[in-house]
Structure 1
Amino acid sequence: MSVGVGTLLRQWRSHRSISQLDLAYDVGVSPRHLSFVETGKSTPSPGLLDALSSRLDIPLRERNALLLAAGHAPRYTEESIDAAAMSRIRGSVQRVLDAHHPYPGLALDRTWNVVLANESASALAALLPAEVCGPPFNLFRASLHPDGFARMTVNFDVWAGYLLDTLRRLVRVTGDPRLIDLEREVREYETVADLDRRTAAARPGRPTEPALLVPFELLLGDRRLSFFTTLTTFGTPRDITLEEMTIELFYPADETTERAVAMMQG
Protein backbone atom coordinates (compact mmCIF):
# COMPACT_ATOMS: atom_id res chain seq x y z
CA MET A 1 0.00 0.00 0.00
CA SER A 2 1.46 3.36 -1.03
CA VAL A 3 1.99 6.06 1.58
CA GLY A 4 0.44 9.48 0.93
CA VAL A 5 2.55 12.58 0.55
CA GLY A 6 1.02 14.09 3.69
CA THR A 7 2.08 11.11 5.78
CA LEU A 8 5.59 11.24 4.34
CA LEU A 9 5.90 14.93 5.11
CA ARG A 10 4.62 14.44 8.62
CA GLN A 11 7.18 11.66 9.15
CA TRP A 12 10.03 13.86 7.94
CA ARG A 13 8.86 16.79 10.08
CA SER A 14 8.76 14.52 13.11
CA HIS A 15 12.14 13.07 12.15
CA ARG A 16 13.61 16.57 12.14
CA SER A 17 11.79 17.59 15.36
CA ILE A 18 10.10 20.63 13.79
CA SER A 19 6.58 21.67 14.72
CA GLN A 20 3.93 22.13 12.07
CA LEU A 21 3.60 25.78 13.03
CA ASP A 22 7.33 26.49 12.75
CA LEU A 23 7.62 24.66 9.43
CA ALA A 24 4.68 26.56 7.97
CA TYR A 25 6.12 29.94 8.91
CA ASP A 26 9.62 28.97 7.74
CA VAL A 27 8.41 28.16 4.20
CA GLY A 28 5.85 30.98 4.02
CA VAL A 29 2.54 29.10 4.02
CA SER A 30 -0.31 29.18 6.51
CA PRO A 31 -0.35 26.52 9.22
CA ARG A 32 -3.88 25.68 8.06
CA HIS A 33 -2.69 24.91 4.52
CA LEU A 34 0.21 22.77 5.78
CA SER A 35 -2.23 20.93 8.04
CA PHE A 36 -4.44 20.23 5.02
CA VAL A 37 -1.42 18.90 3.11
CA GLU A 38 -0.41 16.60 5.94
CA THR A 39 -3.94 15.25 6.39
CA GLY A 40 -4.42 14.68 2.67
CA LYS A 41 -7.09 17.35 2.21
CA SER A 42 -4.84 19.37 -0.10
CA THR A 43 -2.29 18.33 -2.71
CA PRO A 44 0.98 20.28 -2.49
CA SER A 45 2.47 21.84 -5.62
CA PRO A 46 6.00 20.90 -6.73
CA GLY A 47 7.14 24.35 -5.58
CA LEU A 48 5.78 23.82 -2.08
CA LEU A 49 7.30 20.37 -1.89
CA ASP A 50 10.64 21.83 -2.92
CA ALA A 51 10.42 24.49 -0.19
CA LEU A 52 9.40 21.95 2.45
CA SER A 53 12.12 19.52 1.36
CA SER A 54 14.78 22.22 1.54
CA ARG A 55 13.71 23.29 5.03
CA LEU A 56 13.56 19.66 6.23
CA ASP A 57 16.87 18.83 4.54
CA ILE A 58 15.33 15.87 2.71
CA PRO A 59 17.76 14.01 0.41
CA LEU A 60 17.10 14.03 -3.35
CA ARG A 61 16.06 10.36 -3.46
CA GLU A 62 13.32 11.01 -0.90
CA ARG A 63 12.31 14.28 -2.62
CA ASN A 64 11.50 12.25 -5.73
CA ALA A 65 9.40 9.94 -3.57
CA LEU A 66 7.46 12.93 -2.23
CA LEU A 67 6.83 14.27 -5.74
CA LEU A 68 5.59 10.88 -6.94
CA ALA A 69 3.35 10.48 -3.89
CA ALA A 70 1.77 13.85 -4.71
CA GLY A 71 1.18 12.85 -8.33
CA HIS A 72 4.01 14.92 -9.81
CA ALA A 73 6.92 13.84 -12.00
CA PRO A 74 10.26 13.32 -10.23
CA ARG A 75 12.76 16.15 -10.67
CA TYR A 76 16.06 14.43 -9.94
CA THR A 77 17.91 11.93 -12.12
CA GLU A 78 19.77 8.87 -10.88
CA GLU A 79 22.47 7.99 -13.36
CA SER A 80 24.64 4.94 -12.75
CA ILE A 81 28.27 5.79 -12.11
CA ASP A 82 29.02 3.68 -15.21
CA ALA A 83 26.55 5.57 -17.43
CA ALA A 84 27.85 7.53 -20.42
CA ALA A 85 26.44 10.75 -18.94
CA MET A 86 28.68 10.26 -15.89
CA SER A 87 31.89 9.52 -17.81
CA ARG A 88 33.48 12.92 -17.22
CA ILE A 89 32.65 12.95 -13.50
CA ARG A 90 33.67 9.31 -13.09
CA GLY A 91 36.97 10.05 -14.79
CA SER A 92 37.58 13.10 -12.59
CA VAL A 93 36.88 11.15 -9.40
CA GLN A 94 39.12 8.29 -10.51
CA ARG A 95 41.93 10.78 -11.22
CA VAL A 96 41.57 12.19 -7.70
CA LEU A 97 41.82 8.68 -6.26
CA ASP A 98 44.75 7.67 -8.48
CA ALA A 99 46.63 10.87 -7.65
CA HIS A 100 46.33 9.96 -3.97
CA HIS A 101 48.35 6.75 -4.46
CA PRO A 102 50.28 5.28 -2.61
CA TYR A 103 47.66 5.98 0.05
CA PRO A 104 44.19 4.42 -0.12
CA GLY A 105 41.33 6.34 -1.74
CA LEU A 106 37.71 5.31 -2.25
CA ALA A 107 34.46 6.63 -3.67
CA LEU A 108 31.43 5.43 -1.70
CA ASP A 109 27.68 5.45 -2.31
CA ARG A 110 25.03 6.26 0.30
CA THR A 111 25.34 2.88 2.04
CA TRP A 112 29.16 3.02 1.83
CA ASN A 113 29.46 0.47 -0.94
CA VAL A 114 32.70 1.11 -2.83
CA VAL A 115 32.00 2.33 -6.38
CA LEU A 116 35.55 3.43 -7.30
CA ALA A 117 38.96 2.78 -5.72
CA ASN A 118 42.64 3.37 -6.35
CA GLU A 119 45.36 0.72 -6.47
CA SER A 120 46.27 1.09 -2.78
CA ALA A 121 42.69 0.58 -1.58
CA SER A 122 42.26 -2.41 -3.90
CA ALA A 123 45.43 -3.98 -2.49
CA LEU A 124 44.06 -3.64 1.06
CA ALA A 125 40.73 -5.16 0.04
CA ALA A 126 42.59 -8.12 -1.48
CA LEU A 127 43.77 -9.06 2.04
CA LEU A 128 40.22 -9.95 3.08
CA PRO A 129 38.40 -13.25 2.47
CA ALA A 130 35.95 -13.32 -0.42
CA GLU A 131 32.89 -13.71 1.80
CA VAL A 132 33.57 -10.32 3.41
CA CYS A 133 34.18 -8.54 0.13
CA GLY A 134 30.71 -8.86 -1.38
CA PRO A 135 29.84 -7.90 -3.99
CA PRO A 136 29.21 -5.17 -3.29
CA PHE A 137 32.24 -4.30 -1.19
CA ASN A 138 30.75 -2.44 1.77
CA LEU A 139 33.16 -0.48 3.94
CA PHE A 140 31.12 -0.80 7.14
CA ARG A 141 30.82 -4.56 6.67
CA ALA A 142 34.47 -5.02 5.69
CA SER A 143 35.71 -2.89 8.60
CA LEU A 144 33.54 -4.37 11.37
CA HIS A 145 33.20 -8.04 10.38
CA PRO A 146 35.30 -10.42 12.55
CA ASP A 147 37.03 -11.75 9.43
CA GLY A 148 37.45 -8.28 7.92
CA PHE A 149 39.71 -5.40 8.84
CA ALA A 150 38.59 -5.81 12.47
CA ARG A 151 41.10 -8.63 12.94
CA MET A 152 44.00 -6.35 11.97
CA THR A 153 42.76 -3.02 13.41
CA VAL A 154 44.94 -2.20 16.42
CA ASN A 155 42.60 0.45 17.85
CA PHE A 156 39.39 -1.36 16.94
CA ASP A 157 37.32 0.03 19.82
CA VAL A 158 38.00 3.64 18.82
CA TRP A 159 37.78 3.14 15.06
CA ALA A 160 34.64 0.96 15.30
CA GLY A 161 33.04 3.56 17.56
CA TYR A 162 33.62 6.19 14.87
CA LEU A 163 32.18 3.91 12.15
CA LEU A 164 29.11 3.01 14.20
CA ASP A 165 28.47 6.68 14.99
CA THR A 166 28.76 7.47 11.28
CA LEU A 167 26.36 4.67 10.34
CA ARG A 168 23.89 5.77 13.01
CA ARG A 169 24.04 9.34 11.71
CA LEU A 170 23.39 8.18 8.14
CA VAL A 171 20.35 6.23 9.33
CA ARG A 172 19.04 9.29 11.17
CA VAL A 173 19.59 11.68 8.25
CA THR A 174 18.25 9.48 5.46
CA GLY A 175 15.90 6.97 7.07
CA ASP A 176 17.06 4.59 4.30
CA PRO A 177 15.86 1.00 4.96
CA ARG A 178 19.10 -0.36 3.48
CA LEU A 179 21.13 1.50 6.09
CA ILE A 180 18.75 0.42 8.84
CA ASP A 181 19.25 -3.23 7.79
CA LEU A 182 23.01 -2.73 7.58
CA GLU A 183 23.16 -1.25 11.08
CA ARG A 184 21.12 -4.19 12.38
CA GLU A 185 23.50 -6.60 10.64
CA VAL A 186 26.76 -5.16 11.95
CA ARG A 187 25.33 -4.87 15.46
CA GLU A 188 25.12 -8.68 15.44
CA TYR A 189 28.82 -9.15 14.64
CA GLU A 190 30.69 -10.59 17.60
CA THR A 191 33.29 -7.85 17.30
CA VAL A 192 30.63 -5.16 17.67
CA ALA A 193 28.71 -7.05 20.37
CA ASP A 194 31.93 -7.37 22.39
CA LEU A 195 32.57 -3.65 21.93
CA ASP A 196 29.06 -2.85 23.16
CA ARG A 197 29.62 -5.02 26.24
CA ARG A 198 32.96 -3.38 27.01
CA THR A 199 31.47 0.07 26.55
CA ALA A 200 28.55 -0.74 28.87
CA ALA A 201 30.89 -2.13 31.53
CA ALA A 202 33.41 0.70 31.35
CA ARG A 203 33.68 2.88 34.42
CA PRO A 204 34.23 6.60 34.07
CA GLY A 205 37.81 7.45 34.90
CA ARG A 206 40.11 10.40 34.68
CA PRO A 207 39.35 12.27 31.45
CA THR A 208 42.14 12.16 28.89
CA GLU A 209 43.01 14.79 26.36
CA PRO A 210 41.16 13.87 23.14
CA ALA A 211 43.13 13.17 19.98
CA LEU A 212 42.88 15.71 17.21
CA LEU A 213 41.62 13.01 14.81
CA VAL A 214 40.48 9.42 15.16
CA PRO A 215 43.18 7.32 13.45
CA PHE A 216 42.78 4.04 11.60
CA GLU A 217 45.62 1.90 12.98
CA LEU A 218 46.31 -1.21 10.95
CA LEU A 219 48.76 -4.04 11.64
CA LEU A 220 50.08 -5.54 8.41
CA GLY A 221 52.66 -8.21 9.23
CA ASP A 222 55.20 -6.46 11.42
CA ARG A 223 54.19 -3.00 10.17
CA ARG A 224 51.86 -0.81 12.18
CA LEU A 225 50.26 1.80 9.94
CA SER A 226 48.25 4.77 11.15
CA PHE A 227 46.00 6.86 8.90
CA PHE A 228 43.51 9.69 9.24
CA THR A 229 40.78 10.21 6.68
CA THR A 230 38.94 13.00 4.92
CA LEU A 231 35.42 12.79 3.50
CA THR A 232 34.45 14.92 0.50
CA THR A 233 31.05 15.33 -1.16
CA PHE A 234 29.89 17.12 -4.31
CA GLY A 235 28.60 20.67 -4.07
CA THR A 236 25.14 21.52 -5.49
CA PRO A 237 24.36 18.06 -6.91
CA ARG A 238 21.17 17.60 -8.94
CA ASP A 239 21.63 13.89 -9.47
CA ILE A 240 20.91 11.30 -6.75
CA THR A 241 24.06 9.29 -7.44
CA LEU A 242 26.25 12.38 -7.06
CA GLU A 243 24.48 13.63 -3.94
CA GLU A 244 24.97 10.25 -2.30
CA MET A 245 28.64 9.85 -3.29
CA THR A 246 31.42 10.43 -0.78
CA ILE A 247 35.15 10.41 -1.54
CA GLU A 248 37.27 9.08 1.33
CA LEU A 249 41.03 9.61 1.27
CA PHE A 250 43.42 8.07 3.81
CA TYR A 251 46.54 10.04 4.83
CA PRO A 252 49.53 8.92 6.91
CA ALA A 253 49.03 10.03 10.50
CA ASP A 254 52.72 9.83 11.40
CA GLU A 255 56.19 9.69 9.84
CA THR A 256 56.49 5.97 10.59
CA THR A 257 53.50 5.22 8.37
CA GLU A 258 54.76 7.56 5.65
CA ARG A 259 58.13 5.77 5.59
CA ALA A 260 56.56 2.31 5.76
CA VAL A 261 54.24 2.97 2.83
CA ALA A 262 57.17 4.34 0.80
CA MET A 263 59.17 1.16 1.53
CA MET A 264 56.20 -1.03 0.57
CA GLN A 265 56.12 0.69 -2.80
CA GLY A 266 59.66 -0.47 -3.41
Structure 2
Amino acid sequence: MTTAVTDTAVGPLLRSWRERRRITQLELAIRADSSARHISFIETGRARPSQEMVLRLADHLDVPVRERNALLLAAGYAPRYAETPLDDPAMGALREGMEQLLQGYEPYPALIVDGTYTVLAANRGIAMLLDGLPGHLLAPPLNAMRLTLHPEGLAPKIRNLREWRGHLLSQMERQIAIMRSDALRALYDEVAAYPLPEAGDDTATAPATGTATQDSLAQSPVPHFALPLRIEHDGHLLSFVSSISTFNTPMDVTVAELAIETLLPADPATVKYLRSTTP
Protein backbone atom coordinates (compact mmCIF):
# COMPACT_ATOMS: atom_id res chain seq x y z
CA MET A 1 0.00 0.00 0.00
CA THR A 2 1.31 3.46 -0.84
CA THR A 3 0.85 6.62 1.16
CA ALA A 4 -0.33 9.73 -0.63
CA VAL A 5 1.99 12.69 -0.22
CA THR A 6 1.25 16.14 -1.56
CA ASP A 7 3.86 18.39 0.11
CA THR A 8 7.08 16.94 -1.22
CA ALA A 9 9.05 18.00 -4.28
CA VAL A 10 11.27 14.93 -4.37
CA GLY A 11 9.19 13.28 -7.09
CA PRO A 12 9.70 15.93 -9.76
CA LEU A 13 13.37 16.17 -8.81
CA LEU A 14 13.85 12.44 -9.27
CA ARG A 15 11.96 12.54 -12.57
CA SER A 16 14.23 15.35 -13.74
CA TRP A 17 17.34 13.32 -12.91
CA ARG A 18 15.91 10.24 -14.64
CA GLU A 19 15.16 12.24 -17.79
CA ARG A 20 18.65 13.73 -17.76
CA ARG A 21 20.08 10.22 -17.69
CA ARG A 22 17.71 9.23 -20.49
CA ILE A 23 16.38 6.07 -18.88
CA THR A 24 12.78 4.94 -18.57
CA GLN A 25 10.83 4.32 -15.39
CA LEU A 26 11.01 0.61 -16.11
CA GLU A 27 14.79 0.67 -16.57
CA LEU A 28 15.24 2.58 -13.30
CA ALA A 29 12.87 0.22 -11.51
CA ILE A 30 14.85 -2.84 -12.65
CA ARG A 31 18.13 -1.29 -11.55
CA ALA A 32 16.72 -0.26 -8.18
CA ASP A 33 14.88 -3.55 -7.55
CA SER A 34 11.51 -1.81 -7.59
CA SER A 35 8.56 -1.57 -9.99
CA ALA A 36 7.73 0.90 -12.71
CA ARG A 37 4.43 1.56 -10.94
CA HIS A 38 6.16 2.52 -7.71
CA ILE A 39 8.62 4.76 -9.54
CA SER A 40 5.70 6.45 -11.25
CA PHE A 41 3.93 6.99 -7.92
CA ILE A 42 7.08 8.53 -6.42
CA GLU A 43 7.59 10.88 -9.36
CA THR A 44 3.98 12.07 -9.33
CA GLY A 45 3.88 12.54 -5.55
CA ARG A 46 1.41 9.72 -4.91
CA ALA A 47 3.98 7.88 -2.80
CA ARG A 48 6.68 9.07 -0.46
CA PRO A 49 9.93 7.15 -0.92
CA SER A 50 11.83 5.92 2.10
CA GLN A 51 15.23 7.40 2.87
CA GLU A 52 16.81 4.18 1.62
CA MET A 53 14.86 4.37 -1.64
CA VAL A 54 15.87 8.01 -2.24
CA LEU A 55 19.53 7.09 -1.82
CA ARG A 56 19.17 3.96 -3.94
CA LEU A 57 17.55 5.86 -6.80
CA ALA A 58 20.12 8.64 -6.50
CA ASP A 59 22.89 6.07 -6.73
CA HIS A 60 21.47 4.47 -9.87
CA LEU A 61 20.89 7.92 -11.39
CA ASP A 62 24.48 8.96 -10.59
CA VAL A 63 23.30 12.06 -8.75
CA PRO A 64 26.14 14.23 -7.36
CA VAL A 65 26.61 14.04 -3.59
CA ARG A 66 25.47 17.62 -2.95
CA GLU A 67 22.27 16.99 -4.91
CA ARG A 68 21.64 13.77 -2.97
CA ASN A 69 21.36 15.88 0.15
CA ALA A 70 18.88 18.10 -1.71
CA LEU A 71 16.80 15.06 -2.64
CA LEU A 72 16.74 13.88 0.97
CA LEU A 73 15.64 17.31 2.19
CA ALA A 74 12.92 17.44 -0.45
CA ALA A 75 11.66 14.06 0.77
CA GLY A 76 11.60 15.25 4.37
CA TYR A 77 14.80 13.60 5.60
CA ALA A 78 18.01 14.97 7.07
CA PRO A 79 21.03 15.28 4.76
CA ARG A 80 23.25 12.21 4.73
CA TYR A 81 26.54 13.75 3.59
CA ALA A 82 28.58 16.29 5.55
CA GLU A 83 30.36 19.25 3.96
CA THR A 84 33.61 19.48 5.88
CA PRO A 85 35.89 22.48 5.16
CA LEU A 86 39.18 21.38 3.66
CA ASP A 87 41.11 23.17 6.42
CA ASP A 88 39.28 21.20 9.11
CA PRO A 89 41.65 19.06 11.25
CA ALA A 90 39.66 15.98 10.19
CA MET A 91 40.86 16.60 6.62
CA GLY A 92 44.53 16.59 7.59
CA ALA A 93 45.34 13.22 6.04
CA LEU A 94 43.52 14.17 2.84
CA ARG A 95 45.41 17.46 2.53
CA GLU A 96 48.74 15.72 3.10
CA GLY A 97 47.94 13.08 0.51
CA MET A 98 46.96 15.69 -2.08
CA GLU A 99 50.15 17.68 -1.49
CA GLN A 100 52.24 14.54 -1.98
CA LEU A 101 50.32 13.77 -5.15
CA LEU A 102 50.95 17.25 -6.59
CA GLN A 103 54.65 17.03 -5.79
CA GLY A 104 54.80 13.59 -7.37
CA TYR A 105 53.62 14.99 -10.70
CA GLU A 106 56.44 17.54 -10.89
CA PRO A 107 57.83 18.82 -13.18
CA TYR A 108 54.49 18.40 -14.92
CA PRO A 109 51.87 21.03 -13.92
CA ALA A 110 49.10 19.87 -11.60
CA LEU A 111 46.50 21.59 -9.43
CA ILE A 112 43.47 20.86 -7.28
CA VAL A 113 40.20 22.79 -7.68
CA ASP A 114 36.78 22.71 -6.07
CA GLY A 115 33.38 22.71 -7.72
CA THR A 116 33.70 26.36 -8.80
CA TYR A 117 37.30 26.03 -10.03
CA THR A 118 38.83 27.78 -7.03
CA VAL A 119 42.47 26.65 -6.87
CA LEU A 120 43.05 24.91 -3.54
CA ALA A 121 46.61 23.74 -4.20
CA ALA A 122 49.08 23.70 -7.07
CA ASN A 123 52.62 22.55 -7.75
CA ARG A 124 55.70 24.29 -9.16
CA GLY A 125 54.74 23.36 -12.71
CA ILE A 126 51.62 25.50 -12.42
CA ALA A 127 53.60 28.31 -10.77
CA MET A 128 55.93 28.30 -13.78
CA LEU A 129 53.05 28.77 -16.22
CA LEU A 130 51.56 31.58 -14.11
CA ASP A 131 54.81 33.45 -13.72
CA GLY A 132 54.46 37.05 -14.87
CA LEU A 133 50.67 37.30 -14.68
CA PRO A 134 49.27 40.50 -13.10
CA GLY A 135 48.76 40.59 -9.35
CA HIS A 136 44.99 41.04 -9.47
CA LEU A 137 44.64 37.61 -11.11
CA LEU A 138 47.03 35.97 -8.66
CA ALA A 139 45.38 37.39 -5.53
CA PRO A 140 43.53 34.74 -3.47
CA PRO A 141 41.25 33.09 -4.14
CA LEU A 142 42.74 32.00 -7.46
CA ASN A 143 40.30 30.68 -10.02
CA ALA A 144 41.51 28.29 -12.72
CA MET A 145 38.96 29.38 -15.34
CA ARG A 146 39.65 33.05 -14.76
CA LEU A 147 43.43 32.54 -14.87
CA THR A 148 43.14 30.61 -18.14
CA LEU A 149 40.63 32.69 -20.10
CA HIS A 150 41.13 36.23 -18.82
CA PRO A 151 42.66 38.49 -21.53
CA GLU A 152 45.42 39.41 -19.05
CA GLY A 153 45.88 35.82 -17.96
CA LEU A 154 47.10 32.82 -19.91
CA ALA A 155 44.77 33.45 -22.85
CA PRO A 156 47.22 35.52 -24.95
CA LYS A 157 49.79 32.75 -24.62
CA ILE A 158 47.46 29.93 -25.69
CA ARG A 159 48.03 29.20 -29.37
CA ASN A 160 44.76 27.31 -29.85
CA LEU A 161 42.69 29.60 -27.64
CA ARG A 162 39.41 29.32 -29.54
CA GLU A 163 39.46 25.52 -29.37
CA TRP A 164 40.59 25.42 -25.75
CA ARG A 165 38.10 28.09 -24.70
CA GLY A 166 35.29 26.15 -26.37
CA HIS A 167 36.36 23.00 -24.56
CA LEU A 168 36.39 24.73 -21.15
CA LEU A 169 33.04 26.46 -21.67
CA SER A 170 31.45 23.16 -22.76
CA GLN A 171 32.86 21.53 -19.65
CA MET A 172 31.29 24.20 -17.46
CA GLU A 173 27.97 23.93 -19.29
CA ARG A 174 27.84 20.19 -18.52
CA GLN A 175 28.48 20.90 -14.85
CA ILE A 176 25.87 23.64 -14.68
CA ALA A 177 23.33 21.21 -16.14
CA ILE A 178 23.73 18.89 -13.15
CA MET A 179 24.64 21.34 -10.39
CA ARG A 180 22.34 24.04 -9.06
CA SER A 181 25.19 26.44 -8.40
CA ASP A 182 24.69 30.19 -8.70
CA ALA A 183 28.43 30.70 -8.20
CA LEU A 184 29.27 28.40 -11.10
CA ARG A 185 26.71 30.08 -13.35
CA ALA A 186 28.12 33.52 -12.45
CA LEU A 187 31.65 32.34 -13.22
CA TYR A 188 30.53 30.95 -16.57
CA ASP A 189 28.82 34.21 -17.50
CA GLU A 190 31.97 36.12 -16.57
CA VAL A 191 34.53 34.07 -18.49
CA ALA A 192 32.25 33.52 -21.50
CA ALA A 193 32.07 37.31 -21.86
CA TYR A 194 35.83 37.78 -22.02
CA PRO A 195 36.81 39.17 -25.44
CA LEU A 196 38.65 36.96 -27.88
CA PRO A 197 41.69 38.30 -29.75
CA GLU A 198 41.03 39.26 -33.34
CA ALA A 199 43.74 36.88 -34.54
CA GLY A 200 42.74 33.29 -35.18
CA ASP A 201 44.13 30.12 -33.71
CA ASP A 202 47.81 29.27 -33.94
CA THR A 203 48.92 32.87 -33.56
CA ALA A 204 50.76 34.14 -30.52
CA THR A 205 51.70 37.52 -29.25
CA ALA A 206 55.39 38.24 -29.13
CA PRO A 207 56.73 37.53 -25.64
CA ALA A 208 57.77 40.55 -23.63
CA THR A 209 60.98 38.86 -22.54
CA GLY A 210 63.12 36.01 -23.76
CA THR A 211 64.55 35.25 -27.18
CA ALA A 212 61.70 33.58 -28.96
CA THR A 213 62.35 32.62 -32.55
CA GLN A 214 60.17 31.32 -35.35
CA ASP A 215 61.74 27.89 -34.92
CA SER A 216 61.17 27.76 -31.18
CA LEU A 217 57.51 28.68 -31.69
CA ALA A 218 56.99 26.22 -34.53
CA GLN A 219 53.88 24.12 -34.25
CA SER A 220 54.42 20.92 -32.35
CA PRO A 221 52.76 17.66 -33.36
CA VAL A 222 49.10 17.56 -32.35
CA PRO A 223 48.10 14.39 -30.43
CA HIS A 224 45.45 12.39 -32.26
CA PHE A 225 43.88 11.09 -29.06
CA ALA A 226 42.89 14.31 -27.27
CA LEU A 227 42.65 18.07 -27.71
CA PRO A 228 45.97 19.55 -26.56
CA LEU A 229 46.57 22.79 -24.74
CA ARG A 230 49.24 24.56 -26.81
CA ILE A 231 50.80 27.37 -24.82
CA GLU A 232 53.84 29.58 -25.27
CA HIS A 233 56.25 29.95 -22.36
CA ASP A 234 59.50 31.90 -22.45
CA GLY A 235 59.88 31.48 -26.20
CA HIS A 236 59.00 27.78 -26.26
CA LEU A 237 55.78 26.19 -27.48
CA LEU A 238 54.55 23.63 -24.97
CA SER A 239 51.85 21.08 -25.67
CA PHE A 240 49.81 19.41 -22.90
CA VAL A 241 46.93 16.97 -22.59
CA SER A 242 44.69 17.59 -19.60
CA SER A 243 43.69 14.74 -17.29
CA ILE A 244 41.14 15.20 -14.49
CA SER A 245 40.76 12.83 -11.54
CA THR A 246 38.08 12.77 -8.85
CA PHE A 247 37.56 10.71 -5.71
CA ASN A 248 35.70 7.42 -5.96
CA THR A 249 32.62 6.88 -3.73
CA PRO A 250 33.04 10.09 -1.70
CA MET A 251 31.01 10.45 1.51
CA ASP A 252 31.54 14.19 1.96
CA VAL A 253 30.34 17.03 -0.30
CA THR A 254 33.69 18.82 -0.17
CA VAL A 255 35.60 15.72 -1.21
CA ALA A 256 33.07 14.88 -3.91
CA GLU A 257 33.64 18.24 -5.61
CA LEU A 258 37.45 18.14 -5.56
CA ALA A 259 39.18 17.60 -8.89
CA ILE A 260 42.86 16.99 -9.54
CA GLU A 261 43.91 18.26 -12.96
CA THR A 262 47.27 17.32 -14.43
CA LEU A 263 48.80 18.68 -17.62
CA LEU A 264 50.68 15.82 -19.21
CA PRO A 265 53.26 16.56 -21.92
CA ALA A 266 51.94 15.77 -25.38
CA ASP A 267 55.29 15.71 -27.17
CA PRO A 268 58.98 14.99 -26.42
CA ALA A 269 59.94 18.66 -26.72
CA THR A 270 57.62 19.59 -23.85
CA VAL A 271 59.02 16.79 -21.70
CA LYS A 272 62.57 17.96 -22.37
CA TYR A 273 61.77 21.59 -21.61
CA LEU A 274 59.97 20.84 -18.33
CA ARG A 275 62.80 18.63 -17.11
CA SER A 276 65.35 21.26 -18.02
CA THR A 277 63.57 23.84 -15.85
CA THR A 278 63.41 21.58 -12.78
CA PRO A 279 66.05 22.39 -10.15
Q: Give the TM-score normalised by structure 2.
A: 0.80
Specify which of 40, 48, 58 is matched with residue 43 of structure 1.
48
Question: Structure 1 segments of 4 or more deviating over 6 A?
Answer: 192-195
Match for residue 80 of structure 1?
85
Match for residue 160 of structure 1?
165
Match for residue 248 of structure 2?
235
For structure 1, list consecutive stretches of 5 or more residues without a partner in the other structure: 196-208
Give, as a single letter, the amino acid of the residue that structure 2 aligns with 1:70: A
Match for residue 247 of structure 1?
260
| Residue pair 1:144, 1:192 contacting (<8 A) in 2 also | no
Sequence identity (%): 39
Distance verdict in 2 for CA 1:210–1:93, change over 3 Å? closer
Corresponding position: 1:101 with 2:101 = no
Distance verdict in 2 for CA 1:55–1:70, change over 3 Å? same
Distance 2:149 2:184 in 1: 15
Distance 1:234 1:87 in 2: 16
Look up the SS of the partner of 1:191 in the other structure. coil
Distance 1:133 1:12 in 2: 38
Deviation at 1:53, TM superposition (A): 0.3
Structure having the larger proportion of residues in helix: 1
Moved more, 253-262 or 40-49: 253-262
Distance 1:119 1:5 in 2: 46
CA deviations on 1:10-65 (whole Å, 9 max, x unpaired) are 22223223333433343233333333322333221111101110121101100011
The count of corresponding residues between Structure 1 and Structure 2 is 252
Matches within 5 A, 1:1-266: 4-133=9-138, 135-191=140-196, 211-265=224-278
Give, as a single letter, the amino acid of the residue that structure 1 aligns with 2:224: A
Look up the SS of the partner of 1:90 in the other structure. helix
Give, as a single letter, the amino acid of the residue that structure 2 aligns with 1:160: R
Distance 2:234 2:156 in 1: 12
Give, as a single letter, the amino acid of the residue that structure 2 aligns with 1:217: R
CA deviations on 1:138-184 (whole Å, 9 max, x unpaired) are 21222122221111111212322322232222223435443333323
Moved more, 178-187 or 236-245: 178-187
Distance 2:107 2:49 in 1: 52
Distance 2:53 2:155 in 1: 47
Distance 2:198 2:53 in 1: 45
Look up the SS of the partner of 1:80 in the other structure. coil
Larger radius of gyration: 2
| Residue pair 2:102, 2:122 contacting (<8 A) in 1 also | yes
Distance 2:129 2:167 in 1: 20
CA deviations on 1:217-257 (whole Å, 9 max, x unpaired) are 21123222222222222222211222211111222222322
CA deviations on 1:70-111 (whole Å, 9 max, x unpaired) are 121211122111111111111011001012222211012122
| Residue pair 2:8, 2:76 contacting (<8 A) in 1 also | no
Moved more, 50-59 or 224-233: 224-233
Give, as a single letter, the amino acid of the residue that structure 1 aligns with 2:271: E
Moved more, 2-11 or 245-254: 2-11
Match for residue 218 of structure 2?
none
Give, as a single letter, the amino acid of the residue that structure 2 aligns with 1:235: N
| Residue pair 1:231, 1:249 contacting (<8 A) in 2 also | yes
Cα RMSD over matched residues? 2.6
| Residue pair 2:111, 2:121 contacting (<8 A) in 1 also | yes
Distance 1:260 1:132 in 2: 26
Moved more, 34-43 or 97-106: 34-43
Look up the SS of the partner of 1:213 in the other structure. coil
